Structure 1
Amino acid sequence: MEKRSPSPTVSDPEASVEAVKAKENFNAGIDTSGVDERKLMRKIDYALIPWLSFLYLLSFLDRTSIGNAKLYNLEKDLHMTDDQYLLTLTIFFFSYAIFEVPSNVFLKRLRPSLWLSFLMFFWGVMMTLQGIVHNYPQLLGMRWLLGMFEAGLFPGVNYYLSCWYKRSEFGIRSAIFFSAATVSGAFGGLLAAAISNMEGIGGKPAWAWIFILEGLLTVIAGGVSYWIIQDFPDTAKFLSEEERAFVIRRLQSDDQFSAGGENFKMKYIYESLKDWKTWIGMVVYAGADMPLYAFSLFLPSIINQLGFTATPANLLTVPVYVFACIVTCGVGYLADRWGKRGYFNIGFLCIGAAGYIILVASHNAALSYFAVYMATCGIYPIIPNSISWVSNNVEGSYKRSVSLGMVISFGNINGAVSSNVYRARDKPWYPLGHGLVLMYIAIGVIASVIFLVYLKRENARRERGERNEYIEDMPETHNPENEKNGRFATLDDAKRAKGDLWSGYRYTI
């Protein structure tokens, strides 16, 4: 059987600018020859990344600030037991996970500027209300509602960015966006230490002011986001008509065939549910996401138990998060450049595992603090790299929105585990917590290896022509054996009908 090599203008992610401009599937009558690609991408970066990163900084700050507030007598003032405190952490993850997939579908059907602003405004309200609660049940209810409204931001923005950038460009943008979580960790410690000086003002304790002031900042940001957040490429108002056409065409040249528009069909959701990549991606992501929440929620307490009081413990988290930010952005850049996302996952998860082995085995404060830096390598860069890896290998705008929602949702369900494993009775060394985090990292390594192997095998099958379709206007494909992979009138029909199952589509390993 003759092997068919896909045309570089439709399947090569490194297609030239000229080839991109020549491909006029979207608004064919518009001349984009005058568009400067480099200037356009810089314009898009400035319009999207800074504000979205700031929103995620606020999101992560709001969900994890309870760890800082705990150091300022939160449990004592609300008459909570340690188990009740852990439950307030846990309930957030359930509502957060439940609403992620539906939120991504709403984001696609509505405008991002409207949906994301709505979510942000109301989670800011819930954050603020945490500062006026008087007992444990009230705090529990606010944490549920906080998780419900925050659910849409992280999976929504990652999906939204994937609709703007080529597969080889998405990783560094996702890493910069996610690095806001590391900045929030550093900023959160500094902010909590500063706000603690308001103890007693207005008759409220320091922990209440942490919630109130951080929540009000989020409310304001949510209100102005409506005018700052841009919509999808085909309707973005900050781009000219020629620039919008250029963006869509370059995405189509990168095998994102749905970039020009796609009507909602239930089959896209079913395709995501049936796709093996979705399910393995869920396990890969959980291998880093449970450790992420364990790390961010309990790092101040871990350092506190190493012999440092509340404010110094919060301040000592700052250099850890700065290091995590640098590593995250570095991995995002190199993974985009080299395209070996699976290998980065495996390597850095192993470094993180070594850090947790030290935390389990060591009872030396200085050595344990050093191990915390190693632990960040197996957590923070893996989150955006895993999301990029899954996104790179799913085509179809609705299918990708559901797949990313499921992957991130499953990871966050496992975040509920993280909030129950660092028990007060296990301090100061927390062997159970460190041991379970180490187990999750090991699961992440195994799942990453499986994902990598299966993707390489599938690419090899496509190279051998085993997935070729029968294309009616391409005589070289008229082999009866190809009909088992589908019969289509044109190549474009095959691409749009099959998405990432099309024989010319190559998975990112």
Structure 2
Amino acid sequence: MAITYDEKSTVSRLSDTERDPDLKGSLLAAGFEDPDEGLSDEERAEIDRKLLWKLDIRLVPWLSLLYLVSFLDRTNIGNAKIVGLQTDLGMTNAQYNATLTIFFVSYSVFEPVTNVLLKRLRPSIFIPLIMMAWGICMTCMGLVHNYAGLMAVRWFLGLSEAGLFPGVGYFLSCWYKRSEFGVRMAIFFSAAALAGSFGGLLAAAIAKMDGVAGKAGWAWIFILEGLVTFLIGIASFWCVYDFPDQASFLSEVDRKRVLRRLALDQQSSAEHEEFKMDYFWASVKDWKTYTGAVIYMGADGALYAFSLFVPTIINELGLICLFTDFATLQGYSSIRAQLLSVPPYAAAAILTVTIGFIADRTRQRGLCNIGVSFLGMIGFSMLLGCKSAGGRYAGVFLGAMGIYPAIANTISWTSNNTEGVYKRGVSLGFIIGWGNLNGIVSSNIYRDNDKPRYYPGHGVVLGYLVVFLFGGSVVQYFLLRRENAKRQRGERDQWIEGMDQSQIELLGDKRPDFIYTL
């Protein structure tokens, strides 16, 4: 719903209130009907709590399950490798790395356009369709007989998975206030860490099916997980909902409440917009798109290096002597590596949600990014410098805890500071697509001839964390802080002088009254 601005009176009001966020939100919400008019603040708060709980129950658990399945399906090739995939298909080390790389090519190239498709086709249609497609691809990975077949299926897997992560991040940002979005995004993304943990346990169990129906254990990992993905995709037609203005589980009154609470938070994400190239160019010309891409590549490049190779890394640590409870597994190094990969992922999942909660409460997403990046840097420094297996295993813990929270927090930071339905979708597509493109680097830095210490791989990941995640977060934090100061002093008020209503709406987060989340 459009809000009419008179530029002179708007600037005057904003100056009088020193750009009070509550007043700014009230001005935006003026065009939305208030279904709770006349109720006390306490009654409104109680209604809001119940509404938020309804949204959480309907949206977050199922979407988190979808991402758990997605991340499990894209990274289980690392689990399959250590139970014989590479040997059975007669692949060289270079060919195995190429099968990792090809996924990221199609995955990254198609991500920037997927949010436009999500908006046009509706989430309840788009997400189930792509899940069914990658479930088929996943199953086919268990049926291949050579390197060429695996390459082809991995390319189509990347294509079909491309729409989920940027799509869900964009989708959730259209439902929650900026101070609520981070912890929900963290819970959603913690499924990736749980996938690493769950994937190790699952792979250890499925690998015991070696020889069943003439198939190797690694083939059953792909076949069974692919079939489960396909079935979950079918169920998603009933379990994935649309945007607030179309969601079937909301009553008309609750729909009005959702739209109004977003407007009070200076968000127009619930509004119906038709796609215009203006939104695309607004994203391309926004410096935050590029700083966000740099930060995200620092976290995402490290993430894929970690998730694809952590079973292999742990397999080389020689930890059997440190854990007497696993003495019965002597001689089964692949299963031992799967099981020992579980605790670091579990710790990462817990910290991801914790950071999401802290960042929402403090609205200091930049400082949270900077803080967790130190954990990652310390962790990979330990992997590089420690000689003992125990010290390096501790480094795996810190590495996971420094990478996973930064992914969800960076997406939340970007969403908080990008206003407008399509601009946000395009920006997230670019940022996430660029980050995932770095999976091409990640999939080629851990080479067999570098084991057992993997110095080049650990060094590259450490460089990503220092230069891009830490350095990019520091730069964006101070640029946003400087910009907020200028807006609060009224130095950007001239941006809306002489503009008509449609031009002001196109400004989105460049409106002088929009204050960035630091």
TM-score normalised by the chain length of structure 1: 0.92
Q: Which residue of 2 aligns with 1:254?
A: 265
Q: Distance in 1 between matches of 2:292 and 2:340?
A: 34
Q: Secondary structure at the match of 1:277?
A: helix
Match 1:25 to one of 11, 15, 31: 31
Q: Does 1:455 align with 2:455?
A: no
Q: Secondary structure at the match of 2:438?
A: helix
What amino acid does structure 2 have at the position aligned with 1:424?
D
Per-residue deviation, 1:374: 1.1
- The one-character-per-residue Cα deviations of 1:443-501 (angstroms, maximum 9, x if unpaired) are 21111111011101111111111111xxxxxxxxxxxxx3x5432456xx675231101
Q: Does 1:387 align with 2:395?
A: no
Q: Which residue of 1 aligns with 2:247?
A: 236
- The one-character-per-residue Cα deviations of 1:191-233 (angstroms, maximum 9, x if unpaired) are 0011011110000000000000000000000011011101000
Residues 10 and 185 from structure 1, CA distance in 2 versus in 1: closer, same or farther, beyond 3 angstroms?
farther
1:337-356 map, 5 Å: 337-356=361-380
Q: Which residue of 1 aligns with 2:14?
A: 6
What amino acid does structure 2 have at the position aligned with 1:445?
F
Q: Secondary structure at the match of 1:503?
A: coil
- The one-character-per-residue Cα deviations of 1:320-356 (angstroms, maximum 9, x if unpaired) are 1110011000000000000000011111101210111
Match 2:492 to one of 467, 474, 478: 467
Kept in 1, the 8 Å contact 2:28–2:266? The answer is no
Residues 211 and 15 from structure 1, CA distance in 2 versus in 1: closer, same or farther, beyond 3 angstroms?
farther
Q: Which residue of 1 aligns with 2:513?
A: 504
Match 2:392 to one of 368, 376, 400: 368
Q: Secondary structure at the match of 2:142?
A: helix
Q: Distance in 2 between matches of 1:10 and 1:381?
A: 34
Q: Which residue of 1 aligns with 2:115?
A: 104
Q: Distance in 2 between matches of 1:4 and 1:326?
A: 46
Q: Distance in 2 between matches of 1:198 and 1:13?
A: 59
Per-residue deviation, 1:260: 2.2
1:86-105 map, 5 Å: 86-105=97-116
What amino acid does structure 1 have at the position aligned with 2:505?
R
Kept in 1, the 8 Å contact 2:314–2:340? The answer is yes
Q: Does 1:131 align with 2:142?
A: yes
Q: Distance in 1 between matches of 2:198 and 2:345?
A: 9
Q: Secondary structure at the match of 2:404?
A: coil
Q: Which residue of 2 aligns with 1:194?
A: 205
What amino acid does structure 2 have at the position aligned with 1:211?
F
Q: Secondary structure at the match of 1:394?
A: coil
Per-residue deviation, 1:15: 7.3
Q: Which residue of 1 aligns with 2:300?
A: 289
Q: Secondary structure at the match of 2:250?
A: coil
Q: Distance in 1 between matches of 2:302 and 2:516?
A: 27
Match 1:301 to one of 297, 312, 315: 312
Per-residue deviation, 1:378: 1.8
Per-residue deviation, 1:245: 0.8
Identify unmatched segments of 5+ residues in structure 2. Answer: 1-7, 321-332
Residues 462 and 5 from structure 1, CA distance in 2 versus in 1: closer, same or farther, beyond 3 angstroms?
farther
More deviation in 155-164 or 255-264? 255-264
Q: Distance in 2 between matches of 1:11 and 1:298?
A: 49
Kept in 1, the 8 Å contact 2:144–2:150? The answer is yes
More deviation in 251-260 or 212-221? 251-260
Q: Distance in 1 between matches of 2:14 and 2:439?
A: 42
Q: Which residue of 1 aligns with 2:354?
A: 330
Q: Distance in 2 between matches of 1:337 and 1:50?
A: 22
- The one-character-per-residue Cα deviations of 1:119-154 (angstroms, maximum 9, x if unpaired) are 000000000000000000000000000000000000
What amino acid does structure 1 have at the position aligned with 2:309?
F
Q: Which residue of 1 aligns with 2:193?
A: 182
Q: Which residue of 1 aligns with 2:230?
A: 219
Per-residue deviation, 1:422: 0.3
Kept in 2, the 8 Å contact 1:332–1:385? The answer is yes
Q: Which residue of 2 aligns with 1:75?
A: 86
Identify unmatched segments of 5+ residues in structure 1. Answer: 469-481
Residues 284 and 221 from structure 1, CA distance in 2 versus in 1: closer, same or farther, beyond 3 angstroms?
same
What amino acid does structure 1 have at the position aligned with 2:511?
W
Per-residue deviation, 1:7: 8.8
Q: Does 1:487 align with 2:493?
A: no
Q: Secondary structure at the match of 1:381?
A: helix
Sequence identity, in percent?
Answer: 52
Q: Which residue of 2 aligns with 1:263?
A: 274
- The one-character-per-residue Cα deviations of 1:231-251 (angstroms, maximum 9, x if unpaired) are 000010100001011101111
Q: Which residue of 1 aligns with 2:283?
A: 272
Match 2:462 to one of 417, 424, 438: 438
Q: Which residue of 2 aligns with 1:167?
A: 178
Q: Which residue of 2 aligns with 1:476?
A: none
Q: Distance in 2 between matches of 1:437 and 1:409?
A: 19
Q: Secondary structure at the match of 1:233?
A: coil
Q: Which residue of 2 aligns with 1:153?
A: 164
What amino acid does structure 1 have at the position aligned with 2:31?
N
1:392-411 map, 5 Å: 392-411=416-435
Kept in 1, the 8 Å contact 2:86–2:96? The answer is yes
Q: Which residue of 2 aligns with 1:316?
A: 340
How many residues are paired up? 490
What amino acid does structure 1 have at the position aligned with 2:289?
T
Moved over 6 A (4+): 7-11, 19-22
Residues 280 and 23 from structure 1, CA distance in 2 versus in 1: closer, same or farther, beyond 3 angstroms?
closer
Give the root-mean-square deviation of aligned CA atoms: 2.2
Match 2:52 to one of 25, 30, 41: 41
TM-score normalised by the chain length of structure 2: 0.91
Q: Distance in 2 between matches of 1:169 and 1:86?
A: 39
Q: Does 1:425 align with 2:436?
A: no
What amino acid does structure 2 have at the position aligned with 1:508?
T
Kept in 2, the 8 Å contact 1:4–1:465? The answer is no
Q: Which residue of 1 aligns with 2:151?
A: 140
- The one-character-per-residue Cα deviations of 1:42-66 (angstroms, maximum 9, x if unpaired) are 0010000000000000000000000
